[in-house]
Amino acid sequence: MAGPFIVSETPERKTSQRKRPEQIATDVVRAQRGGFEPSGFEQHWFDRLKASRAASSLFSVLFPSNCCICGEPLLNISRLPVCRQCLGKLHPVEGTVCSICGERVLSSYALSDADGLVRCPVCRRIERPFERAVAYGSYEDGLRELVHLLKCSGVRPAARVLGRMLAEAIATLEQDFANDPVLVIPVPLYKGKRRQRGFNQAELIARSALKIYSAGGRLQLATGILERTRPTESQIGLTAHQRRENLRGAFAVVRASEVTGKAVLLVDDVYTTGTTASECARVLGRAGASKVWVATVARTLKLASKAEGFKVSGFQGFNEENEAVTENLETLQP
Ligand SMILES: [Zn+2]
Ligand SMILES: [Zn+2]
């Protein structure tokens, strides 16, 4: 006859405190969102969940099945589940782009202004809260998958590849930096989100970029100066007005004295509509930053990415990647 099951329990667990599994799951999710401090018992489950996620992520990295971009089986074991062909295809934005915001411009707008800068129709009409925004490549050309690999799947080796690209984008600003030191500030996550993800992807990418390019040591990483003071909804599917409202007051400079009079390079993984970059740049400007540049790995482009085609891509619904298509002047008003 089978004996009784022996259930191992953590010391903190007392019968009177027993929770139903659904309640534990809910609490773990709340704890991940930063909503409350977990008890010892909940922390135990929280840690187990994290450990199992780490194990499955490790498994998928050690025994990869398919390339995360093209889906073809991978021939080599790699810490980055992307095939060589797909990595080789990632390339900088082709064609002429706006010197201010990085948007692709049609040939009719490709003539430089008197100051030598090329401006898109939007940047001719309004003043941006930053000097210039540069990006390495188009979000739609494989970079989205690579960014998601880091951000959503937690595959950290992707940060090295993305960092190399960010370094290339930053290097295009070298002349703008002059000889002054520049604070490199990653767009922050809300603390609950950061805890849930375990890292801020913008910071990881910035760190790897600075190992490759630091403008002769003038670029200095500065974390903890800019903070996201409240959780914000996803920007996906919001109108321009809603996006601005969603981010209004969501960022704050906590050590203003460190920013006053300083040049700042704001870095992020992706520039979609520019609402986040503009809001951060405004907050940094109000705190006394002398100049703010923006550098991202990827950028959504309104025009199809193939330089020879210049087709205007059609609107394909409310998703983040196509938000730029619906961008209008109203988005960008200060
Ligand atoms: Zn591939
Ligand atoms: Zn522009």
pLDDT, one tens digit for every residue, the chain (334 residues): 444 443 333 333 333 444 444 454 445 445 444 445 556 655 666 576 566 556 555 555 555 578 988 999 988 777 888 999 999 999 999 889 999 999 999 877 677 888 889 999 999 999 999 999 999 999 998 899 999 999 989 999 999 999 999 999 999 999 999 888 999 999 999 999 999 999 999 999 999 999 999 999 999 999 999 999 999 888 888 888 899 899 999 999 999 999 999 999 999 999 999 999 999 999 999 999 999 999 999 999 976 434 433 333 322 222 332 233 233 333 333 3
The amino acid occupying position 316 is Q
**C-beta neighbour count of 153 within 10 angstroms:** 16
Ranges of H-type helices in the chain: 21-32, 40-62, 84-89, 121-125, 144-151, 157-171, 174-177, 191-197, 201-212, 240-247, 275-286, 323-326, 329-332
User: Residue written as tokens 């400079």?
Assistant: 253
Q: Locate the domains of the chain by residue range.
A: 54-81, 90-332
For residue 135, report the distance from its CA to the centre of ligand 1, in Å.
23
Q: Report how far apart the first and last C-alpha atoms of the chain are (Å, whole number).
A: 76
For residue 149, report the distance from its CA to the centre of ligand 1, in Å.
13
Model pLDDT, residue 279: 96
For residue 189, report the distance from its CA to the centre of ligand 1, in Å.
30
**C-beta neighbour count of 305 within 10 angstroms:** 19
Q: Are 159 and 201 in contact (CB under 8 A)?
A: yes
Model pLDDT, residue 42: 58
d(CA 80, CA 267): 23
Dihedral pair phi/psi, residue 12, rounded to 5°: -70, -20
For residue 26, report the distance from its CA to the centre of ligand 2, in Å.
44
User: Residue written as tokens 């394909």?
Assistant: 316
Ligand nearest to the CA of 72: 1
For residue 118, report the distance from its CA to the centre of ligand 2, in Å.
8
**C-beta neighbour count of 15 within 10 angstroms:** 6
d(CA 282, CA 171): 23
For residue 111, report the distance from its CA to the centre of ligand 2, in Å.
13
d(CA 56, CA 50): 10
**C-beta neighbour count of 54 within 10 angstroms:** 12
Model pLDDT, residue 222: 97
Give the residue from 147, 110, 99 showing the smallest Cα distance to 296. Answer: 147
Ligand nearest to the CA of 299: 2
Neighbours of ion ligand 1 (CB under 5 A): 67, 69-70, 83, 86
Ligand nearest to the CA of 69: 1
For residue 62, report the distance from its CA to the centre of ligand 2, in Å.
43
Per-residue CA distances from 325 to 207, 235, 314 (Å): 31, 14, 8
For domain 90-332, the CATH architecture is 3-Layer(aba) Sandwich (3.40)
Strands 251-253, 226-228: pairing is: antiparallel
For residue 89, report the distance from its CA to the centre of ligand 1, in Å.
9
Model pLDDT, residue 44: 67
For residue 76, report the distance from its CA to the centre of ligand 1, in Å.
12
Q: Which two tokens stand for residue 271?
A: 């520039």
Give the residue from 313, 327, 224 showing the smallest Cα distance to 275. Answer: 327
Model pLDDT, residue 60: 52
Look at residue 38 and give its three-state secondary structure: coil
For residue 165, report the distance from its CA to the centre of ligand 2, in Å.
21
